[in-house]
Amino acid sequence: MDSGFPILPPLSFEEEFEGLASELSFCQSGGLILALYLHEEVRETVMARLREELPSHFHFPLQLNNLKIQFSTFFSQTFEQTGEHSDVFHVLGIEQLSEAAQLEFLRSLQYGRENFKSLGYSLVFWVSPAFVTKLFHAAPDFYHWLNGTYDFSIYQPTGGTSYARQRENFLGSLKSYLKKLIWQYEHWEEVPKTDFLLEVMSRANLHKYYVALSGTDSQGNVWRLDKLLDNFLKEPQHSFMTLLGDYGTGKSSFSLHYFIQQAKRYLQDNRRRIPLFISLKDYPKRVNVPTFLQKEFVEKFQLSFSLAVFQELALAGQFVFLVDGFDEMMSLADKEETVANFKALTRLTFENVQFLTQGETGRKNKLLMTCRTHYFFSEAQEKEILRADYTVLYRNYATRSQYQITRVNVGKFDQAQIEEFILKSVDNEATAQQMLAIIRDTYNLQELSERPLLLNMIVKTLPELREKEKINVADLYQVYTNGWIERDDWRSQLTPQGKRQFMWELALKMYQGGGNFSLHYSQLDKPKPEFLKNPGEVNEDYYAYETTTCAFLNRDAEGNYKFVHKSFMEYFVAELFVDSVKKLRPRPLAYSELSWRVRYFVDLIRSFWRSRGGANLNDSYFE
């Protein structure tokens, strides 16, 4: 008998899908969705399409099993949000649970209302139409909490989506990028300074001059860093390693060297992890993972980036991240910023969601982070920062697998490494032996040469240092920078004093910027006429020529300046401070406002001037 109600035709696949996608895009937290399916291919197609339609969301497949730890935790804890918008967890495998586990799962649904309210993400429960009756019988209240039910069970598989093409484009673009990086590394002398894809690569010809480094682990064992990292990539337990060392000990050089080796290995065998090198000099503020990745891939390297493909590869443990310069981010005195950035970097490993989606057996992504030693004052502080991350990872995984950050301290050069570096630098045995003799016979020069950065400066400036009885670090920086400021000015439009003022202003503005160690020339004041050689003939971009012969400063095509090493910025701030005191000018900052490293340089420069008579260096200025 006709009921009088029209029978509506089922929605098309596109209409059903658009409804689900719209619901997930509007629901920023606590969303509960029921999705019905019969064919796994249809389910996978919908999930792939959602990754395409909602590219700012991370989509995590949660494959349930009979281990209570996964879903009991899932319904009682809130995971930290990974994406910029609300993440989406696709709950799979409900019907494959044992009867007892199913019952516990459904009870969790029935009595989980308060937990659901506080979720920072959305949940899509994938079940067959036949299971719906059982679900609503065991968890009747769950029906009233649903944001919507979407039925894909009537549709047949139709083949793949454009996702396969996205994946192919992503990997193809990535391989081309790695090949270009390897070429630049191996043909360093042929690449203009501003054309390097990685700024850190422009600092030195590591292909020619790199010397293998050593490090000491927490048990006191000494390793060659290459071997230590090879073992780190192979072992299944740890996903995060910090490489700590004082300034100038070669942390960045090793990271770049190892990255290039991993890039070669990946291109030879794509079953290996994909290496990615990330310099944190470009991220002075808080790290947001999707924005971070978008900037790194698209803006910086012009890669064909797909967040969905990246997520797929990350969940499969396909990446090794080499993250350089944690100490060069925002002010490290701000503990909140420090913890937030540290936690964001740990999330790059995806280990917490890997544990939830794959259990403990999947391959982990690996992350190596470099940082100055003084940042982590103690192992206890390092653990405190990690444990501030009260996520499901720490609560439900750390205690069982002893998840922790593996810490390695970079060693200084030993005598054999010093000799190898000098011989590679001068490429002449007799000249190398002469340099080694001068270093050996000059008070404390041997000690300074144990740091690769300082040894490079010693090699470059040795003729001017050989007459000094005692040399300190500030002497090295002065002689090395004077080589450009005082003499190599044949292209410069500035006088030597003008070049020094340029460096002082540049360093001070960077330093006062709270960690943003890049500065556009438009932020600098125009030089005073007396600092220009020919004021009437000056090119408007007067600073453009100042970096063409400068070994410690880089300038990109857009006019942004960077020191090749943070220590040069600190040295010039210290030099400006002491010069202001000497000439009774207002100091740019109070002594107490200077970082410990800048004060270190200040005290060394001050000691030199005091030995020369100490004019105007009253102690009250240094308190």
pLDDT of 575 strictly over 60: yes
pLDDT of 3 strictly over 70: no
553-555, strands of its sheet edge to edge: 519-520, 560-563, 553-555
Predicted local distance difference test score (pLDDT) of residue 587: 86
Q: How far is CA 460 from CA 327, 416, 454, 608, in A?
A: 27, 19, 10, 22
Predicted local distance difference test score (pLDDT) of residue 548: 62
- Better-predicted residue by pLDDT, 300 or 79: 300
Q: What is the mean pLDDT of the chain?
A: 79
**Using one digit for the tens of pLDDT, what is the confidence trace for 479-512?**
888 888 876 555 577 888 888 998 999 999 988 8
User: What single-letter amino acid sits at 516?
Assistant: N
Mean pLDDT of 357-381: 70
Predicted local distance difference test score (pLDDT) of residue 420: 92
In terms of average pLDDT, the best of 33-37, 65-69, 162-166, 194-198 is: 33-37
b/e map of 49-72 (b: 16 or more CB within 10 Å)?
bbbebbbebbbbbbebeeeebbbe
Q: How far is CA 308 from CA 84, 170, 290, 371, in A?
A: 14, 10, 11, 30
Mean pLDDT of 516-536: 79
**Using one digit for the tens of pLDDT, what is the confidence trace for 405-446?**
677 888 889 999 999 999 998 888 998 898 888 888 776 678
CA distance 399 to 393: 9
Partner residues linked to 14 by β-bridges? none
**Using one digit for the tens of pLDDT, what is the confidence trace for 322-359?**
999 887 765 444 667 777 777 778 778 877 677 666 65
**Using one digit for the tens of pLDDT, what is the confidence trace for 181-233?**
999 999 999 998 778 888 889 888 999 999 999 998 878 888 999 999 999 99
* Residue in 425, 486, 427, 431 with CA at minimum distance from that of residue 456: 425
Mean pLDDT of 564-584: 87
- Better-predicted residue by pLDDT, 384 or 218: 218
Q: How far is CA 499 from CA 525, 528, 545, 579, in A?
A: 13, 11, 11, 15
Q: How far is CA 397 from CA 67, 90, 402, 572, in A?
A: 13, 21, 8, 47
**Using one digit for the tens of pLDDT, what is the confidence trace for 65-75?**
776 555 555 55
pLDDT grade, residue 574 (50/70/90)?
A: very high
592 contact partners, CB below 8 Å, separation of at least 6: 623
DSSP state of 243: E
Predicted local distance difference test score (pLDDT) of residue 157: 76
Predicted local distance difference test score (pLDDT) of residue 416: 93
Predicted local distance difference test score (pLDDT) of residue 331: 47
Predicted local distance difference test score (pLDDT) of residue 382: 55
Strand, helix or coil for residue 75: coil
pLDDT grade, residue 520 (50/70/90)?
A: confident
Which of 96-100, 227-231, 400-404, 452-456 is least confident? 400-404
Predicted local distance difference test score (pLDDT) of residue 273: 94
- CB atoms under 10 Å from CB of 582, counted, come to 16
Predicted local distance difference test score (pLDDT) of residue 558: 75
Predicted local distance difference test score (pLDDT) of residue 463: 76
Strand, helix or coil for residue 73: helix
Predicted local distance difference test score (pLDDT) of residue 329: 67
Query: Which two tokens mark 19?
Result: 């409804």
DSSP state of 548: T
**Using one digit for the tens of pLDDT, what is the confidence trace for 385-412?**
555 444 444 444 444 444 456 778 888 8
Predicted local distance difference test score (pLDDT) of residue 536: 67
b/e map of 375-399 (b: 16 or more CB within 10 Å)?
ebeeeeebeebbeebebbbbebbbe
Predicted local distance difference test score (pLDDT) of residue 305: 74
Q: What is the DSSP string of 399-458?
A: HHHT---EEEEEPPP-HHHHHHHHHHHH--HHHHHHHHHHHHHSBTHHHHTTSHHHHHHH
* Residue in 532, 562, 537 with CA at minimum distance from that of residue 550: 562
